[in-house]
Amino acid sequence: MPTPATASCLVDTAQFAEVTASTARKARFWDRAARKYAADPIADMAGYETTLRRVQVLLSTGHEVLEIGCGTGTTALRLAPFVKHLLATDVSAGMIAIAQEKLAAQPVPRLSFAVADADAPVAGHSACDVVLAFNVLHLASDLDQTLAHAVQALRPGGLLISKTPCIAELNPLITHLALPLMRAVGKAPHVLIFNGEALQSAFTRQGLEIVSVERHGTRGKDIRVFIVARKPA
């Protein structure tokens, strides 16, 4: 759990006790998947390393950072040494348990983990310099709501940095046939289907200024759009 020095970037943990049915469903799915997820290798390691390098240059040792949808903490462990403090959160207690195991094996004093849903407020208003959202926005119940919470957490001039699969850019047979079938048998989570342009529009609806839009993939078609956006000062 966060230390007293990092409490400013975290809302009252009592708020986490109000679990909606949607949150509970998401948590159950990812709890079941957590160990397999942790064991699966990163599909495009070169692209992942490009993303990490790109994010590192945007961070500073004075930054209070929040990561939503941190999974098992791999990215948080890599980025935490470059900031003042990083609070990494995920809806799945199973994912966070694995992240805590990694942190115990590889201590990083600037890193804390907590269970929290990206669809709900995680940090206090204007508490963070940077919010990170990697591979999570397509899993939100309500994209605009999730982005609104991220914007609220940012200080004026703060950055929202995301890398998001744009499911609408996949083969239509996957989006209209395979995904619904997999969801029906519990093998896939609920996902939002949008393309890169629609995602950018969602950012601008929340008043964010788009700084950069990139693709870092090195294998085939890359549907994971990397966006850096700034909250107006």
Closest listed residue to residue 138, CA positions, set 121, 162, 122, 161? 162
Which pLDDT value is given to residue 144?
97
pLDDT single digits (tens) 121-143: 888 888 999 999 999 999 999 99
Strand partners, 46: none
Is the confidence at residue 186, as pLDDT, over 80? yes
Model's pTM, two decimal places? 0.90
What's the CATH fold of domain 4-165+193-230?
Rossmann fold (3.40.50)
**In which residue are the tokens 């998401």 written?**
26
Which pLDDT value is given to residue 58?
98
Q: Taking a C-beta distance cutoff of 8 angstroms, is the pair 188, 182 a contact?
A: yes
Which one has a higher pLDDT value, 112 or 6? 112
Confidence of residue 229 (pLDDT cuts 50, 70, 90): very high
- Residue 184, CA atoms < 13 Å, CB-side half-sphere: 6
Rounded mean pLDDT, 42-62: 97
Which pLDDT value is given to residue 10?
55
pLDDT single digits (tens) 81-104: 999 999 999 999 999 999 999 999
- Rounded to whole angstroms, the Cα distance separating 155 from 21 reads 31
Which pLDDT value is given to residue 184?
86
- Rounded to whole angstroms, the Cα distance separating 24 from 36 reads 20
Least confidently predicted of 14-23, 25-34, 48-57, 199-208: 14-23
Rounded mean pLDDT, 31-35: 95
In 3-state terms, the chain is what percent helix, strand and coil (to 5)?
Answer: 45, 20, 35
Three-state secondary-structure class, residue 1: coil
Which one has a higher pLDDT value, 183 or 71? 71
Which pLDDT value is given to residue 181?
87
Strand partners, 228: 161, 212
Which pLDDT value is given to residue 197?
98
Domain ranges of the chain: 4-165+193-230
Which pLDDT value is given to residue 42?
94
Rounded mean pLDDT, 41-60: 97
Q: What is the mean pLDDT of the chain?
A: 91
Which pLDDT value is given to residue 16?
44
